[in-house]
């Protein structure tokens, strides 16, 4: 299936809108992070383990979250790094 240009632009606009809806400070749970960064849970946790993605904060024994500031920084870093820069 090929994505038409208008669909790609619409998805990009939706992503930008979600970015602007983030609070300036606070915490995001995993499902919120993954709604902004299109990865699966396993890939995300591997990135956390190897230091590519930010470390979480334990809010309680069973509650893990990430600082909004860290996720904003990560998105900024990923947006300026092209796939060819990783090789």
Task: Give the per-residue pLDDT at 33.
Answer: 94
Domain holding 36, by residue range, is 26-79
CATH assignment at residue 53: 1.10.238
10 assigned to some structural domain: no
4 assigned to some structural domain: no
Query: Does residue 14 carry a pLDDT above 80?
Result: no
> For the chain, what percent of residues have pLDDT higher than 70?
69
| Whether the predicted model's global pTM rises above the 0.95 cut | no
Report CA torsion sign: 36, 38, 42, 44: negative
Least-confidence region, from 37-41, 48-52, 65-69: 37-41
Q: Give the count of domains, the chain.
A: 1
Dump pLDDT digits (tens) for 30-49: 999 999 988 999 999 999 99
Nearest residue to 14 (alpha-carbon basis) of 46, 50, 45, 38: 38
Longest dimension (CA), the chain: 45
33's CB contacts (< 8 A; 6+ apart) are 44, 66, 71
2 assigned to some structural domain: no
34 assigned to some structural domain: yes
18 assigned to some structural domain: no
């Amino acid at each position: 299936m090929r994505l038409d240009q208008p669909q790609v632009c619409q998805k990009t606009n939706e992503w930008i809108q979600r970015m602007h809806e983030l609070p300036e400070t606070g915490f995001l749970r995993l499902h919120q992070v993954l709604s902004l960064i299109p990865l699966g849970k396993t890939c995300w946790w591997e990135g956390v383990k190897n230091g590519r993605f930010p470390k979480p904060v334990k809010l309680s024994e069973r509650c893990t979250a990430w600082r909004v500031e860290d996720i904003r920084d990560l998105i900024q870093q990923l947006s300026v790094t092209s796939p060819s820069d990783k090789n």
